[in-house]
Structure 1
Amino acid sequence: MRVSASWLARHIDPAALPAGPEAIGDAFVRVGLEVEEIHPAPAVTGPVTVARVEEIEELTGFKKPIRYCRVGFEGERHRYVVCGARNFAVGDLVVVTEPGAVLPGDFAIAQRTTYGKVSDGMIASAKELGLGAESGGILVLPPGTAEPGDDALDVLGLSEPVVELAVTPDRGYCFAVRGLARELATSLDADYTDPVTRVTVPDTTGDAWPVRLADTDACPRFVARRVDGVDPAAPSPWWMQRALLSAGMRPISLIVDVTNFVMLDLGQPLHAYDATRLTGAIEVRRATTGEKLQTLDGHIRTLDTDDLLITDDSGPIGLAGVMGGASTEIPAPEDLADGARVDVLLEAAHFSPPVIARAARRHKLPSEASKRFERVVDPALPPVAAERAAQLLVELGGGTLADGRTDAGGVPAVASVRMPLSMPDRVAGVDYPRGATVRRLTQVGCAVSLDTGAGGEGVVVATPPTWRPDLTMAADLVEEVLRLEGYDAIPSVLPTAPAGRGLTAAQQRRRAVSRALAEAGHVEVLPFPFVSDAVWDDLGLPADDERRRTVAVTNPLDAERSRLTTTLLPGLLDMLVRNRSRGAEDLALYAIAQVVQPGETTPAMPDPAVTGRPSDAEYAALRAALPDQPVHVGVVLAGNREPRGWWGRGRPAAWSDAVEAARLTGAAAGVELRPRRAERAPWHPGRCAELVVAGTDTVVGYAGELHPKVVEALGLPARTAAAEIDLDAVPLRENLPVPRVSPFPPVAVDVALVADETVPAADLADALTAGAGELLESVRLFDVYTGDQVGQGRRSLAFSLRLRAADRTLTSEEANAARDAAVAEATARHGAALR
């Protein structure tokens, strides 16, 4: 919403307004409004003068119409100017930028020869003067605005900047100067005059036009006022045109300008009908199947049964709250005979915000009216706005007010809100001055009274104004008091954290896992949590795989990805492809996030009322209907795991890196995860490991190389590796044992075992660990060999055993004995032989 200081000054004491736009913006910020931008005054310098068009010579022989005009200033001074616009005539007042003037964009004006004529300046449009974003032709000033020779910079008010505010959806009343002026006056403690109080709505007898409301929920109120004999060619006064331009709207004609001005000033959208084109009574109803409407933009729209229409006996004449119909449009002045007058029927209605919002989005037809209706318009405004517009048409267009006013429906009742008088002080932690609460709520527009009650503590009983439907509970009133007293007055005090209320053990584990993966060179990402059903085929999941059982999103962000994912892999792989498309080749990505895993039978989700807290039974039913949402850790790798350089070619990422990332996850979580051969889509059946918690048979995840068909289907690099761990399935050990540190040196012993190639290296490591006993500190595989020396179908695996005692230095005999016991256990379990 854009507003100028001069427009605000119509409703606020001008002496209280700050001198500059920045100070006005700061005042708005103090009451919680956001300043989007401050538009400075147009950068126009030099001679810019009002002139009268004295002669027009039409030049021929060119591709477009060209005029050679003589414009006169004060006395006998005049200039000749070439111009291509057609929207002015002899006798009109125009703005001439004379040689030496500089317009916005550093556009300098000089005498030049064009189209065979010498142009001594330029007749300017509003856009060229920096008054608007659109150019509707040459700026023609209304008669009486100025005299030839006057300085146009003063006449046009070009020295005034404009403040643009970002209005949030809950502050719909600020989409009008009326609401903005109220907020600014509150911030400045200045006198404020509500423009509604300046409009007298006289009593009338009879209706201006018969109106029927078929859907009072969608249209609670409809007001109609008629003005006969309006001159459509009458010019809008410059003060009105300047106000519209400052708000970012282009002046069009008197009737349109009046309705737009009243909408911007008061906040009530209006629509003007040509009364002679209406047939029968107006009815507000829902559309029927197959109905069509040609709107003012010329498009014929197929209507939905949820659309709210304005109709007469001929059918739809407008899409309520969004745009009027072409059949009852007031003709443009150039389409009427000279001196013709029109009878205008003004509509000022109150519509349901959801109905208007859905219609505007359904037809992709946002408008200034719908933008206000969908944020709630004051239901008490329609008669005031209609009367104000009617008075302006009488005053400026020479119209005559017809007898009668139609006011169908009424203003919905507003419920009072009770709030303890001390509640704002308790919430903010500030002792506000006595009377601050009542004063601030009164400034908002509430009718306030005090109820001492039986307990002795005062209770504020506030009846919100009709333009603040968001004030429905005590917390809303507290927010208004705190907002107007100033959020900056609330001290920033860091509360003392009570002992024992820090991070939970699960939160600490999640942080430890994330830190460990990041320190190992992985980069954390936030994958998209929604998937399509087609992704499971790309991943090669069997038809009966439990991961295909997903939850649908009622209102998805992306219609093609409308289901909550059961695994992190689709999102991670999508991010892998996205990053590679942007030039990143060596990638190690990880994510820690929840997935949604519904059971085979999920109870129906209850729909409790929103007027209060759900009952214990409803809350229990809601919890029971929620699917499992475990936290998973996902890792994907592609490209080089170790970079290439002068030291060598680098090492590409492989399945072993995915397994190592899973083991690292387990170590950070305080458990040991041991790999075991497995088959599970989307991994390669020969290069897939399941991760088992040591000492148990609990499988918590999988790691390895992705299947080549999956790689091809998703456009992944060859031999992409991935791992996924169910972190919630990993046992949570809150009291981890204190590590034992020995001051005595370790003894390293290497053994090479020849075993069948089907024996996993992890199983051999387990056997060595069990055989070596308590002296074994660690076991590490450092070499794998296959070849003729070990025989067909067998392989040699070399392990490094690290032995250490806690109370002594080991002797060679003790180390050899532990080694021999470890080898014997491996032989007994897997038939391994010492190489």
Structure 2
Amino acid sequence: MRVSASWLARHIDPAALPTSPEDIGEAFVRVGLEVEEIHPAPEVTGPVTVARVAEIEELTGFKKPIRYCRVDFEARGDGTARSRHVVCGATNFVVGDLVVVTEPGAVLPGGFAIAARETYGHTSDGMIASARELGLGADHAGILVLPPGTAEPGADALEVLGLSEPVIELAVTPDRGYCFAVRGLARELATSLDADFTDPVARVTVPDATGDAWPVRIDDAEGCARFVLRRVDGVDPAAPSPWWMQRALLSAGMRPISLIVDVTNFVMLDLGQPLHAYDAARVTGTIAVRRAAAGEEVETLDGRTRPLDVDDLLITDDSGPVGLAGVMGGASTEIPELASLGDGARVDVLLEAAHFSAPVIARGARRHKLPSEASRRFERVVDPALPPVAAERAAQLLVELGGGTLAAGRTDEGGVPAVPPVRMPLALPDRVAGVGYPRGATVRRLTQVGCAVELDTGADGQGQVVATPPTWRPDLRRPADLVEEVLRLEGYDTIPSVLPAAPAGRGLTPAQLRRRAVSRALAEAGHVEVLPFPFLSDAVWDDLGLPADDERRRTVAVTNPLDAERSRLATTLLPGLLDMLVRNRSRGSEDLALYAIGQVVQPQEHPPAMPDPAVTGRPSDDEYAAIRAALPVQPTHVAVVLAGSREPRGWWGRGRPAGWEDAVEAARLTGAAAGVELRSRRGERAPWHPGRCAELVVEGTDVVVGYAGELHPKVVEGFGLPARTAAVELDLDAIPLRENLPVPAVSVYPPTAVDVALVAPEQVPAADVADALTAGAGELLETVRLFDVYTGDQVGEGNRSLAFSLRLRAPDRTLTSEEANATRDAAVAEAARRHAVALR
């Protein structure tokens, strides 16, 4: 909402209004309004003068209309007039019109200097200016034509136009629709400044009227609570809008069009009530307010024929729909253009002021993608007491400025809905804010916002405030709403900022500490954390090569998704991570190691029905348990993807590409940060390569917590990733949470290292052989490490040699060679029993 200081001064004591627009903006901020921008006065210097068009010569031979004009300034004593000749491309003016001429030496906004110049074969000694060129608005369709009598030729246009005045633009929140009018803004500003406020509604006298101005029938009381019509006969459609009205509209960002349109727009901006003007001669029969029927259409003022929905609220007459209620009028009853009327023609105008349902208008405007100034106000709720006042104010202006005559009668169907009073303890604002406000502050502030306030001491002696909110404040319905008004107007800055004391003995939970430890460990190892999009499409499962019966395909649909193509909650982190890998590579990043920690959703195959408890109270324990049972499991996962070089190449060497071993190492690092050791064994799970996939289990258990390895070549090709792209995904919640980690014991006795080389079939994983050696060696084994793999003629076709180093130590003695050899032999024997290996 844009408003000028001069417009605000019409409703506030001008002496109390700050001269600086910044001070006015600060006053608005103090009462909770957001200042979007302060538009300074246009920077116009030099001679800018009002002139009268004396001659117009139409130049031919050009692609567009060009006119060579003589404009006259003030008359001299000898009867001649100072004049200039100007070339102009606009055609919206005639001889005798008052225009604004920027003479040579003037500088317009943007540093545009005016000088005499040769153009179209003539000398243009200045420029006839448009509203946009003068910084008055965005209209550039034609030059600015001043109404007759605005000023005498030769007057300083800067003073006449009021170009020295800045404009304040405010962002109005949906719950404060009354501030979409100068009336509401002036009330808020007067409260902030403790200035006198004159309600413009009080200046309008609504006389008693007998009979109806036009027959009206409301068929949908839910969509339309009130409908008012006032008729003005014999309005001159050619009468110009006065400059004060045009300037007000321009300051609000609206383009002056014609007197009838400008009057309805001005009253809407001033009071907040949208109006619509009908040509009474084109309205047939009774005006009805109803919902649309299936298959109906209406041609709106923008010239488009729109098919209607059965939820659309219409204004109709005997001919059918004549407008979308609260959104846009229909073309069949619009005021005719001036060119289609003869000289001296008069128009009978029917003014509509109604109160429509905010949800109905909001849905209609969005359905037809037709936002308008009227719909923006109706969908934020308009004061239902305003229609007769706004209609009377517009009618008076048409009589005064357009030479019309008020017709007898006024139609006023419906009424003002009753506003229930709100009871609130008198001391409640003080308790909520923790501030002792002065005596009478609560009553004073509630009165300032328009409430009718009464005090009730009550039998218990505790004071109660009984406040009846005004009709323009539908948001005041509870004691908390009244408390907010008191705190807002007394000043949020007066409320002390006191942090509550943190209770002792609380902090992060063990699960939160583990999550942070995992994230820190991965980041320190060179991985970069990202936040992938948490929604997926069903097509991604085929891209990942998941079988048709894979449980990850069972997802939960989002009712109102952000992206219609991705409407499913993620059951795995890999699709989102791979998308981010592709996006980063498309932007020039080649060597990537990304990780994410987040929740996934794993719905049950046959979930129980979700109960629907009443909203009148807290659900019972049984209902709460049923709700919890119906919710899908949402474990926390950690996933890593790697592509490109893990070790960069340079003068020190050729570098090393990322591979499956880096994915397994990331998994081990995650396990170590979580306080467990993860053991890898051969696994198979999409989207990993079946021969290069490790299944990860917690050491000492058989609990599978995730998978790591290289992605399947088809997946890599489908996503456009480099070969051998690796990934790991772990279920962090499946890892046992150990709050008391074992303290490592340091032995004072030396270790004994023995090496064994075993010939094993190629299909036997090295990890399985290591597990067998661990089981056979028993308690004396500290670590087992694979340090060499050999294939060749010496071990035979289909075999390979696996060399392991076994580190042995006893906690209470130094091992003898006999004990070490016996332990080694036991380990080799167990490996031979399990996997048919032979000592090389």
Q: Which residue matches 2:5? A: 5
Matches within 5 A, 1:181-200: 181-200=186-205
Q: 1:274 to 1:794 in 2, by over 3 A?
A: same
Give the C-alpha shift of residue 46 in structure 1. 0.5
The answer to whether the 8 A contact 1:136-1:250 is kept is: no
The answer to whether the 8 A contact 1:245-1:251 is kept is: yes
Matches within 5 A, 1:327-342: 327-342=332-347
Q: Which residue matches 1:23? A: 23
Q: 1:285 to 1:759 in 2, by over 3 A?
A: same
SS of residue in 1 equivalent to 2:270: helix
Deviation string, structure 1 residues 371-407 (Cα, Å, up to 9, x no partner): 2222222222222221211111111111111122222
Give the C-alpha shift of residue 491 in structure 1. 2.5
- Asked if 1:512 is matched to 2:520, the reply is no
Deviation string, structure 1 residues 552-606 (Cα, Å, up to 9, x no partner): 2222222222222222222221121111111111122222222222212234445
TM-score, structure 1 length as denominator?
A: 0.95
- Asked if 1:631 is matched to 2:632, the reply is no
Matches within 5 A, 1:116-135: 116-135=121-140
Give the C-alpha shift of residue 342 in structure 1. 0.9
Give the C-alpha shift of residue 477 in structure 1. 2.5
Q: Distance in 2 between matches of 1:608 and 1:328?
A: 51
672, 677, 684: which one aligns with 2:677: 672
User: Which is worse superposed, 245-254 or 71-80?
Assistant: 71-80
Q: Which residue matches 2:224? A: 219
- Asked if 1:392 is matched to 2:409, the reply is no
Q: 1:60 to 1:695 in 2, by over 3 A?
A: same
Q: Which residue matches 2:212? A: 207
Q: Distance in 1 between matches of 2:98 and 2:791?
A: 98
Deviation string, structure 1 residues 228-261 (Cα, Å, up to 9, x no partner): 1111111111111111111111111111111111
The answer to whether the 8 A contact 1:127-1:135 is kept is: yes
TM-score, structure 2 length as denominator?
A: 0.94
Q: Distance in 2 between matches of 1:44 and 1:550?
A: 63
Q: Which amino acid aligns with 2:338?
A: P
The answer to whether the 8 A contact 1:778-1:801 is kept is: yes
- Asked if 1:765 is matched to 2:773, the reply is no
Q: Distance in 1 between matches of 2:749 and 2:204?
A: 96
Q: 1:434 to 1:681 in 2, by over 3 A?
A: same
SS of residue in 1 equivalent to 2:201: helix
Q: Distance in 1 between matches of 2:620 and 2:206?
A: 49
Deviation string, structure 1 residues 525-564 (Cα, Å, up to 9, x no partner): 2211222222222222222222222222222222222222
126, 148, 157: which one aligns with 2:153: 148
Q: 1:152 to 1:637 in 2, by over 3 A?
A: same
Deviation string, structure 1 residues 66-91 (Cα, Å, up to 9, x no partner): 22211111122111111121111111
SS of residue in 2 equivalent to 1:627: coil
SS of residue in 2 equivalent to 1:169: coil
Give the C-alpha shift of residue 427 in structure 1. 2.8
Q: Distance in 2 between matches of 1:797 and 1:173?
A: 82
Q: Which amino acid aligns with 1:576?
A: L
Q: Distance in 1 between matches of 2:640 and 2:131?
A: 59
Give the C-alpha shift of residue 472 in structure 1. 2.6
260, 282, 293: which one aligns with 1:288: 293
Seq. identity, %: 86
The answer to whether the 8 A contact 1:747-1:804 is kept is: yes
Deviation string, structure 1 residues 81-109 (Cα, Å, up to 9, x no partner): 11121111111111000000011121110
Q: Distance in 1 between matches of 2:494 and 2:655?
A: 59
707, 716, 719: which one aligns with 1:702: 707
Q: Which amino acid aligns with 2:644?
A: G
Q: Which residue matches 1:425? A: 430
SS of residue in 2 equivalent to 1:552: coil
Q: Distance in 1 between matches of 2:67 and 2:687?
A: 75
Give the C-alpha shift of residue 619 in structure 1. 4.3
User: Which is worse superposed, 370-379 or 620-629?
Assistant: 620-629
The answer to whether the 8 A contact 1:655-1:721 is kept is: yes
Q: Which residue matches 1:56? A: 56
Q: Which amino acid aligns with 1:286?
A: R
The answer to whether the 8 A contact 1:748-1:803 is kept is: yes
Q: Distance in 2 between matches of 1:280 and 1:381?
A: 26
Q: Which residue matches 1:169? A: 174
Q: Which residue matches 1:90? A: 95
SS of residue in 1 equivalent to 2:211: coil
Q: Which amino acid aligns with 1:399?
A: G
The answer to whether the 8 A contact 1:103-1:129 is kept is: yes
Give the C-alpha shift of residue 55 in structure 1. 1.7
734, 739, 745: which one aligns with 1:734: 739
Q: Which residue matches 2:74? A: 74
Q: 1:778 to 1:239 in 2, by over 3 A?
A: farther
Q: Distance in 2 between matches of 1:743 and 1:352?
A: 85
- Asked if 1:464 is matched to 2:469, the reply is yes
594, 612, 622: which one aligns with 1:589: 594
> RMSD of the alignment, in Å?
2.4
Q: Distance in 2 between matches of 1:325 and 1:252?
A: 18
Matches within 5 A, 1:718-729: 718-729=723-734
Q: Distance in 1 between matches of 2:417 and 2:401?
A: 34
User: Which is worse superposed, 343-352 or 656-665?
Assistant: 656-665
SS of residue in 2 equivalent to 1:383: helix
Matches within 5 A, 1:208-607: 208-606=213-611
Q: Which amino acid aligns with 1:12?
A: I
Q: Which amino acid aligns with 2:32?
A: G
Give the C-alpha shift of residue 59 in structure 1. 2.1
Q: Distance in 1 between matches of 2:226 and 2:470?
A: 17
Q: Distance in 2 between matches of 1:493 and 1:779?
A: 59
687, 694, 704: which one aligns with 2:692: 687
Q: Distance in 1 between matches of 2:184 and 2:624?
A: 40
Q: 1:795 to 1:392 in 2, by over 3 A?
A: farther
Q: 1:799 to 1:176 in 2, by over 3 A?
A: farther
User: Which is worse superposed, 605-614 or 416-425?
Assistant: 605-614
Q: Which residue matches 1:36? A: 36
Give the C-alpha shift of residue 111 in structure 1. 0.8
Stretches of structure 2 lacking an aligned partner (at least 5 in a row): 76-80
- Asked if 1:647 is matched to 2:652, the reply is yes
